[in-house]
Structure 1
Amino acid sequence: MSNSHLFMKSGFVRAPLQNGVGRYVPQLQRIVLKFCKTHGGSRGIRDFIEQDLVEFAKQNPSVVVYLKPRRHRSPVAVAEYLNGDRVWMSLHQKSHSEITKWIEVLRTQQGDVSATRLRKYQFTDHPSIQGPWTPFTFKDPELNVAQLPDPKFGANDRLPMTATDKLRIMFEKQKISEDNVKTGE
């Protein structure tokens, strides 16, 4: 066993902020694109900025995008995540399509997890090969795309009557009895 793990920061395998349980929280907080306006190695990043950057910013309103022109330097993308990680990526001599793919990779990951020594909350001599159980383990996948409430996934008539429904029924009964008194029945 090597001692390389001694110099790596350690962390737990977990979804930050219980990400994916309830709602999805994008982890990319900020991206800084550094480039040269004239250097040939920055051509791909300049094309990305001209053609796709506005659309990227519209599709990802939670990500702050900074453009930092620098003279006679290679293009670089620096991504900062909610967990404090910073990922630095050289974009020198990359084409427009390659840069689009790498920006998407930076957007979808949750920081530099590869440089982390993984730790676990639990330990067992006989680990399960099936993985941990969650409340969503045996749910019907069709439920992911269903428009709820749907009688197919549970009848709504079994729910207890709400206070608003009770008041509405009481009001209707009172109105009917008042109408009967006025007409003399």
Structure 2
Amino acid sequence: MSAKNLFLPAAFVRAPLQNGVGRYVCQLQRITFKFCKSHGGSRGLRDFIEQNLVEFAKENPGVVVYMKPRRHRSPVIVGEYLNGDRVWMSVHNKTHDEITKWVEVMRTQQGDVSSSRLRKYQYTDHPSIQGPWTPFTFKIPELNTAQLPDPKFGANNRLPQSATEELRLMFEKQKLNVKEEELKVAE
């Protein structure tokens, strides 16, 4: 086991700003493209800027786009998120298609999740050695190969009759007995 996580800040896994409850809020706030106008390693980023940048900006009006030309420097994409995270990615010698995919990844993620030690809301001194419970934990193994619907596995076949159902049947029998007695008296 590594002690690397001791030096990372602790954080909980949660949806920022309850994202997905109500409306979607894009977590990416700013994206900066740093590139060289003449360096060969910036070729893919320059192609992305020429072909896709205007379309990206139109599709994502909530994201501020900056371009920063720098002489004789390696190309970099920097994304800044709502939670204050900054993700820095070197795109040296990457193709136009790879950069398009990485920009989409930066747009859809919520910041640098790997830079914090994840914590849980629950804690126990004696964790279960049996593993987590799933809905399939106590299912009958024969269900895996059965052709459904099968009356053998029907829910009503295994359950006893409820008290309400028994009372309803008793009432029906009582009504039939009363009608039979009335017919006998009428004859």
Q: TM bucket by the smaller chain?
A: 0.5 to 0.7
SS at match of 2:57: helix
Structure 2 CA distance for aligned equivalents of residues 4 and 50 of structure 1: 41
Aligned residue number for residue 152 of structure 2: none
What is the identity percentage for the equivalent residue pairs of Structure 1 and Structure 2? 74
Greater Rg by CA: 2
Aligned residue number for residue 54 of structure 2: 54
Structure 1 CA distance for aligned equivalents of residues 34 and 133 of structure 2: 45
Quote how far apart the aligned CAs of 1:99 are.
0.4
SS at match of 1:38: coil
Letter in 1 for 2:71: R
What are the equivalent positions in structure 2 for 1:109-128 lying under 5 Å apart? 109-124=109-124, 125=127
Aligned residue number for residue 24 of structure 1: 24
What are the equivalent positions in structure 2 for 1:90-109 lying under 5 Å apart? 90-109=90-109
Give the alignment's TM-score, normalised by structure 2.
0.66
Aligned residue number for residue 7 of structure 1: 7
Letter in 2 for 1:35: F
Aligned residue number for residue 72 of structure 2: 72
Structure 1 CA distance for aligned equivalents of residues 46 and 92 of structure 2: 11
Structure 2 CA distance for aligned equivalents of residues 103 and 17 of structure 1: 22
Q: What is the number of residues matched between the two proteins? A: 131
Letter in 2 for 1:55: E
* Shift in CA distance, 29/130, structure 1 to aligned 2, threshold 3 Å: farther
Letter in 1 for 2:15: A
Quote how far apart the aligned CAs of 1:2 are.
2.3
Structure 1 CA distance for aligned equivalents of residues 123 and 29 of structure 2: 33
Structure 1 CA distance for aligned equivalents of residues 2 and 89 of structure 2: 27
Aligned residue number for residue 153 of structure 1: none
Which ranges of structure 1 fall in alignment gaps of 5 or more residues?
132-185
Structure 1 CA distance for aligned equivalents of residues 76 and 14 of structure 2: 29
SS at match of 1:23: coil
Aligned residue number for residue 33 of structure 1: 33
Structure 2 CA distance for aligned equivalents of residues 29 and 13 of structure 1: 20
Quote how far apart the aligned CAs of 1:12 are.
0.4
Structure 2 CA distance for aligned equivalents of residues 129 and 21 of structure 1: 26
Q: Could you give the per-residue CA deviations for residues 3-41 of structure 1, whole angstroms, max 9, x where no partner exists?
A: 111111110010000010111111001011000011111
Give the alignment's TM-score, normalised by structure 1.
0.67
Structure 2 CA distance for aligned equivalents of residues 128 and 81 of structure 1: 34
SS at match of 1:97: helix
Q: Could you give the per-residue CA deviations for residues 40-87 of structure 1, whole angstroms, max 9, x where no partner exists?
A: 111110110010000000001111000000000010000011011111
Which ranges of structure 2 fall in alignment gaps of 5 or more residues?
136-187
Aligned residue number for residue 147 of structure 1: none
Aligned residue number for residue 155 of structure 2: none
Q: Could you give the per-residue CA deviations for residues 88-119 of structure 1, whole angstroms, max 9, x where no partner exists?
A: 00010011011000000111111110121101
SS at match of 1:65: strand
Structure 2 CA distance for aligned equivalents of residues 2 and 36 of structure 1: 39
* Shift in CA distance, 106/129, structure 1 to aligned 2, threshold 3 Å: farther
Letter in 2 for 1:13: V
